[in-house]
Amino acid sequence: MFEHIDPRSPTPIYAQIADRVRLAVAAGDLRAGEGLPSVRALAGQLRVNPATVVQAYRDLERDGLVEMRQGAGTFVADVAVETRARERAAAAQRFVRQMLTEAARLGLSPTDLRLALERDLPESK
């Protein structure tokens, strides 16, 4: 779940970690009550500053996606269906914004993108 964390990306590492968890919760890959790796284990695994992992978990807690229980660890909260849908929409939005910025840099117009997207998207039913 935490593969391909990219320290060179303009998105800070803590935000990348939080986004992965958000998506996993939204997709139902992480269920309510499931435990996240401890700060030490995840920091060790990713070779990042433990404070970065703490910041990611705090962000998730603030948004009601996880609960941090003193001494016990961090657990996925019971998230409403609407919240999961909202998280997915937000993740898709982030992805599209990133793509648009990148495309603008390459000199591609919105029309170019729309055409390319239509060509590659599976037929909608």
Partner 1 sequence: MSDAIKIRNLAWRAGRDFAIRDLAMTVPTGAIYGFLGPNGSGKTTTIRLMLGMQQASDGSIEVLGHSVPRQAHKALARIGYVPERLHLYQGLTVEESVRYHRAFFPTFDATEAERLRKRFGLREDALVAKLSKGEAGKLMMLLALSQRAELLVLDEPTDGLDPVIRREVLSALVEYVDGAKATVFISSHLVHEQERICDWIGVMDGGRLIAELPMQEFRSGIKRLRVHKAPVSRDATPFALLSRETPTQHLEEWVVRGWQPEMQEWFARVGAEVRDVQDLDLEESFVELLRGSRVATTTETR
Which residues here bind partner 1, judged by CB under 8 A? 7-10, 12-13, 39-40, 43-52, 104-105
Nearer to partner 1, 80 or 99 (CB): 99
Min separation Cβ 9 and partner 1, Å: 8
Beta carbon of residue 13, minimum distance to partner 1 (angstroms, whole number): 7
Scored b (16 or more CB within 10 A) or e, 29-46 reads: ebeeeeebbebeebbeeb
Q: Which is nearer to partner 1, 105 or 119 (CB)?
A: 105
Kind and range of the H or E element at 75? Answer: strand 73-76
Q: Are 35 and 24 in contact (CB under 8 A)?
A: no
Tell the smallest beta-carbon distance from residue 21 to partner 1 (Å). 19
Question: For 79, left (φ over 0), alpha (ψ -120 to 50), or beta?
Answer: beta
12 phi/psi in degrees, rounded to 5: -55, 150
Q: Which one, 18 or 46, has the nearer CB to partner 1? A: 46
Query: Measured from the CB atom, is 26 or 53 closer to partner 1?
Result: 53
User: Shortest gap between Cβ of 92 and partner 1 (angstroms)?
Assistant: 22
